[in-house]
Amino acid sequence: MEKLNLLWIQGLTCGGNTQSLLCAEETLLNTFLKKVNLLVHPGLSLDEDLEKTVEAVLKGDVRLDILAVEGAVRERGKGLYTVLDMRFDEVLRKLCGVANYVIAVGNCAAYGNIPALKEGSVKGLQFRFTERGGFLGDGFRSKSGLPVINLTGCPVHPEWFISTVLQIASGRPPKLDSLGRPKEFYTYFTHDGCLRNQYYEWRVEAEVLGRKEGCLFYRFGCRGPMTRSSCNRILWNGVSSKTRSGQPCFGCTEFDFPRENIWETKYNMGIPAELPPGVSLRGYIMMSGVAKTFTPDRLRRRLLDEDD
Ligand code: SF4
């Protein structure tokens, strides 16, 4: 079967998604490279020539199966590079018009993220935070008929990206949720699969960051129960996640990221200001009273001795 042509282009980005892809597990990366012809990638293609490649794609000499965009877009943007004497946003719009699939790689390309915080003209491809539309407009569809596939995260997990590309290569593109994210990776919450679930349910707070005991929701602002991601289902580097290493999830796969005071839980009259979806105030008060009263002793102790 013919390989898919993939072009990876960068807008306003720190390059974190490129770095993340370079950390993919070797067997997965090798499978990816067997299925994909990387026309240009900032870290993986050997003889990249962005100008020549873009020219060939826009002339129709090279088929563009997947356009992967990393970074937010500044409309009529000053300060970004030009390609074929066109501004970055102009060339990007043309490339999106000829690509079979467009993938927003990471939260900046999807929703704007940090680069969009201060400037209204900086956008994600089809969103600007909670607003639909973004750079391409709400009605945009790539040649395949799909909207932009939003692979969110700051950065996105390399396996979510590679698996999405492999699904496209197998002729079964992903089903998307209402925010353009593949349901397979963004139906679950970060909370699902977290090893601290018992602490959450019995309302045992983590007392310090970096330890194995306690839930990080009650004091350290963990957004695991409100954030759709597979971080605790498909582990990072195959072994860990933020919450497993004792850090709160700060919601980087959601379209309202980034938020302020990310290591702090806000309270109104002793109740967390934001409760997980579907949890009523009354239910929370009742359950937390019961849970605190009957917490098993073992959840109050250290899991490992200091010197383990
Ligand atoms: S640390 Fe976060 S993800 Fe883990 S159980 Fe607590 S709230 Fe859920």
Are 24 and 165 members of one domain? Answer: yes
308 falls in which pLDDT band (50, 70, 90)? low
Are 194 and 76 members of one domain? Answer: no
Ligand 1 centroid to 211 CA: how many Å?
13
Share of the chain above pLDDT 90, in %: 87
The number of the ligand 1 atom at minimal distance from the alpha carbon of 191 is: 3
Give the DSSP per-residue string, 208-265. Answer: STT-SSSBSHHHH---GGG-B--TTTS-BTTTB-TGGGT-----TTSTT-S-SSTT--
Are 159 and 264 members of one domain? Answer: no
User: pLDDT tens digit string along 110-161?
Assistant: 999 999 998 999 999 999 999 999 999 999 999 999 999 999 999 999 999 9
User: pLDDT tens digit string along 56-96?
Assistant: 999 999 999 999 999 999 998 666 778 888 999 999 999 99
The number of the ligand 1 atom at minimal distance from the alpha carbon of 216 is: 1
- Which of helix, strand or coil describes residue 8? strand
**Of 129, 155, 184, the domain-final residue:** 184
Are 172 and 250 members of one domain? Answer: no
Q: Whose CA is nearest to atom 6 of ligand 1?
A: 215
264 lies in which domain range?
188-308
Domain count along the chain: 2
Q: pTM score, two decimals?
A: 0.94
Are 173 and 55 members of one domain? Answer: yes
The number of the ligand 1 atom at minimal distance from the alpha carbon of 190 is: 3
What is the CB < 6 Å shell around ligand 1?
190-191, 194, 196-197, 200, 215-217, 222, 224-225, 243, 249
User: pLDDT tens digit string along 286-303?
Assistant: 998 899 899 999 999 998
pLDDT at 46: 73
Q: Report the residue among 190, 192, 196 best suited for mutation to probe ligand 1: largest number of ligand atoms under 8 A from its CB.
A: 196
Are 217 and 146 members of one domain? Answer: no
Are 61 and 160 members of one domain? Answer: yes
